[in-house]
């Protein structure tokens, strides 16, 4: 018997349909559904990783285990999907050949090896590598089978083990030291923490920023039509009272120069994972959700593999054939036909060229009617980006008009589109036309109005998801596959808030400030980047997994010693910050702080008054699911504090803590969730 190992159920079904000469037969092996494609061959689905890496059970007691021992403690791999491992063990004695057909990346190689480990099979193993679940790609991969790359698998497992050890040791230290345990523990991670430090440091820059005044001088002219111009000195550091007085009463200006140029805007480059995530996050889809959607589109056979650094289409991609498919698509047929009219299709090229996977691109037609709105949004973006990379440049006519008013220079600029080029295919990038009236040197333009505006310099902008992903890539923080999840964890753990812009919370400041002061290496990208580079050397066969894991443990041991030597100071800083995090407002009865409290007996959350020791009995119930964040605002109706509730995979909502408030939806009743917060419109 031959077994073909797929990464997930949907991919297994797709592979079976492609590889079978007829409709594949569904077979049950225990409780696992597999696909019989004939010729004594079964396609077996996994569920991602089927082995979980963890510490032995005796190390699970946070309070009872010495953290220095935890640094060097052994790790074990245990079953995390018993139905799958039971099926693999049952099939193993009959197997004569195993083909690994998981996603082709480090994780996919590791997942494939896990199946072999469970089966205790290593005699006749091969590997199918493909970048899209299309008949051509899959059949081509099975015609050219290769060996499993154990270096890739080792690299993935190295990352899993290092991240587990670092996360466990540092999270336990910070949580125990601060007294934040249970659901409210403070997580610290090898990649997560330096990423959070970027956000905190940016907010520190903003808070330390000293705005400076400057002035801009504009003018409204008329010649056949009104048009605007600005003084040639774009920003005056001192208020230009003298110039303004000089120009008062002026009625006209003289055109001294007209400069016309043609400008070309190049089409965008093909989508790497990071470029894709940056583009989709600008459309309001979070990076983690975008990756989940892209993964589903890939497994359904609609797009190529979504985890890639490549920005150059390989010669093996039949671009014209893909475009021809879209001639049958109602949404895209006109644009596809227009691209096919070109004498030659010359795609753009980015700076990165790799050989594992091509840039993200469509491979099959998907219907708007059958995809959910978010999936269609992502699919359409990928299709239109693919079209844009094949389209001509966008051509513009630009004009600059210099106008003299009493020897003061003003400049008016305009632009018109000659040919929209790629922008016709890619509506996410828009170019605004600014039309100026026809003017020549020596013409007189009527001066209708002067406009002197006082402005202030602005602090650095908050990180957007797109900007942060780019910065993480530049600093080699995480991988294209892990970065979206890192951002989601920071939000869910209460370290950052906001969706369009990331703003750190007070506990984030406390954690980063503390670590920067007492163990700076944790909060800087240098150490993490070094480990990422070593994992890259494992992939290349230049380093061995045990050596890199051991090296990381030594680094962690040094950091833990630094932290332990300053435990009391760290505890004081973190506990002070935690208190602020739990305070929702003032008690309406005694004026003391109202705080979020977790009952030691029941584990339930509620809001209680700090004055309970002095007899104050004010308390309010809270929703028991989700993360609760004080908003620092009060209810317009009853004057009690407002909170924000975030439950994973659901839209967040805001509510008053007073369950008797007449304006607040009753969250205690089925189907009622308080005031929902639309994306991008949260008060956070």
- State the residue for tokens 């790497």: 272
Contact call for residues 126 and 148 (beta carbons, < 8 A): yes
Q: Which two tokens stand for residue 126?
A: 């091969």
Q: Residue 171: which H helix or E strand, with range?
A: helix 150-178
The rounded distance, in Å, linking the Cα atoms of 407 and 621 is 71
3-state secondary structure of 13: helix
Task: Say which of 305, 495, 502, 518 is annotated catalytic.
Answer: 305
- Burial letters for 16-39: b for 16+ Cβ neighbours within 10 Å, e otherwise? bbbbbeeebeeeebbebbbbebee
User: What does the DSSP 8-state code read for residue 640?
Assistant: P
Q: Residue 33: which H helix or E strand, with range?
A: strand 32-36
Q: Residue 622: which H helix or E strand, with range?
A: none
The rounded distance, in Å, linking the Cα atoms of 108 and 146 is 14
Contact call for residues 35 and 9 (beta carbons, < 8 A): no
User: What does the DSSP 8-state code read for residue 576?
Assistant: H
Angle between helix axes 287-299 and 273-281 (nearest 10 degrees) is 120
Ranges assigned E (strand) in 200-285: 213-222, 226-231, 252-265
User: What does the DSSP 8-state code read for residue 683?
Assistant: -
DSSP result, 392-413? PPEEEEEEEEEEEETTEEEEEE
The rounded distance, in Å, linking the Cα atoms of 290 and 285 is 6
The rounded distance, in Å, linking the Cα atoms of 681 and 670 is 25
Contact call for residues 525 and 475 (beta carbons, < 8 A): yes
Contact call for residues 15 and 112 (beta carbons, < 8 A): no
Nearest to 466 by CA among 277, 198, 203: 277
Helix, strand and coil in the chain, % to nearest 5: 40, 20, 40
DSSP result, 350-372? -S---SS-PPB-B-S---TTTS-
Contact call for residues 386 and 234 (beta carbons, < 8 A): no
- Would you call 59 a catalytic residue per the annotation? no
DSSP result, 430-482? ----B------TT-EEEEEEEEEEEEE--PPPPBPHHHHHHHHHHTT-S-TTT
Residues marked as catalytic: 305
């Amino acid at each position: 018997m031959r077994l073909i190992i797929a990464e997930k159920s949907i991919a297994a079904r797709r592979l079976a349909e492609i590889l079978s000469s007829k409709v594949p037969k569904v077979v049950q092996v225990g409780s696992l559904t597999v696909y019989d494609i004939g010729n004594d061959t079964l396609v077996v689905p996994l569920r991602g990783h089927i082995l979980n890496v963890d510490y032995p059970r005796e190390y699970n007691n946070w309070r009872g285990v010495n953290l220095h021992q935890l640094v060097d403690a052994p790790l074990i791999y245990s079953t995390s999907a018993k139905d799958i491992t039971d099926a693999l063990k049952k099939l193993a004695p009959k197997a004569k050949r195993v083909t690994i057909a998981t996603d082709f990346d480090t994780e996919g190689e590791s997942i494939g090896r896990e199946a072999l480990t469970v089966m205790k099979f290593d005699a006749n193993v091969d590997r199918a590598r493909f970048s899209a679940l299309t008949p051509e790609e899959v059949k081509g991969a099975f015609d050219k089978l290769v060996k499993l790359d154990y270096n890739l698998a080792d690299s993935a497992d190295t990352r899993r083990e290092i991240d587990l050890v670092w996360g466990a040791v540092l999270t336990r230290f910070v949580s125990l030291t601060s007294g934040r345990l249970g659901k409210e523990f403070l997580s610290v991670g090898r990649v997560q923490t330096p990423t959070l430090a970027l956000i905190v440091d940016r907010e520190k820059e903003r808070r330390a920023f000293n705005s400076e005044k400057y002035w801009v001088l504009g003018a409204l002219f008329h010649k056949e039509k009104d048009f605007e111009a600005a003084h040639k000195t774009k920003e005056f550091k001192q208020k230009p009272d003298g110039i303004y007085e000089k120009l008062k009463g002026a009625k006209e200006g003289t055109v001294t120069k007209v400069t016309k140029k043609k400008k070309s805007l190049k089409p965008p480059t093909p989508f790497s994972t990071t470029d894709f995530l940056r583009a989709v996050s600008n459309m309001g889809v979070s990076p983690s959700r975008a990756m989940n959607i892209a993964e589903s589109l890939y497994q359904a056979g609609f797009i190529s593999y979504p985890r890639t650094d490549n920005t150059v289409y390989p010669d093996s991609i039949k671009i014209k054939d893909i475009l021809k498919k879209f001639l049958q698509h109602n949404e895209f047929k006109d644009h596809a036909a227009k691209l096919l009219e070109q004498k030659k299709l010359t795609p753009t090229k980015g700076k990165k060229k790799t050989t594992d996977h091509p840039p993200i691109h469509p491979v099959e037609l998907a219907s708007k009617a059958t995809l959910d709105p978010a999936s269609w949004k992502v699919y359409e973006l990928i299709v239109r980006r693919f079209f844009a990379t094949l389209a001509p440049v966008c051509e513009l006519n630009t004009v600059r008009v210099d106008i003299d008013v009493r020897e003061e220079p003003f400049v008016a600029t305009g632009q018109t589109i000659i040919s929209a080029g790629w922008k016709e295919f890619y509506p996410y990038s828009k170019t605004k036309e600014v039309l100026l009236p026809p003017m020549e040197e020596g013409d007189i333009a009527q001066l209708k109005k002067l406009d002197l505006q006082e402005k202030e310099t602005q602090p650095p902008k908050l990180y957007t998801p797109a900007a942060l992903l780019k910065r993480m890539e530049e600093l080699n923080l995480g991988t294209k596959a892990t970065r979206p999840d890192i951002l989601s964890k920071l939000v869910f753990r209460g370290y950052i808030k906001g969706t369009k812009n990331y703003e750190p919370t007070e506990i984030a400041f406390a954690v980063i400030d503390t670590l920067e002061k007492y163990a700076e290496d944790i909060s800087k990208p240098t150490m993490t980047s070094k480990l990422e580079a070593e994992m890259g050397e494992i992939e290349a066969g230049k380093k061995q997994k045990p050596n890199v894991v051991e090296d990381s443990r030594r680094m962690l041991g040094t950091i833990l010693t630094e932290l332990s030597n300053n435990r009391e100071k760290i505890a004081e800083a973190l506990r002070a910050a935690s208190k602020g995090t739990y305070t929702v407002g003032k008690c309406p009865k005694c004026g003391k702080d109202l705080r979020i409290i977790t009952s030691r007996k029941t584990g339930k959350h509620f809001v209680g008054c700090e004055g309970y020791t002095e007899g104050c009995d004010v308390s309010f119930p809270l929703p028991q699911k989700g993360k609760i964040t004080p908003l620092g605002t009060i209810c317009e109706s009853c004057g009690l504090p407002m909170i924000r509730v975030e439950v994973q995979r659901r839209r967040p909502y805001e509510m008053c803590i007073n369950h008797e408030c007449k304006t607040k939806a009753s969250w205690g009743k089925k189907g009622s969730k308080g005031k929902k917060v639309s994306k991008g419109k949260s008060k956070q």
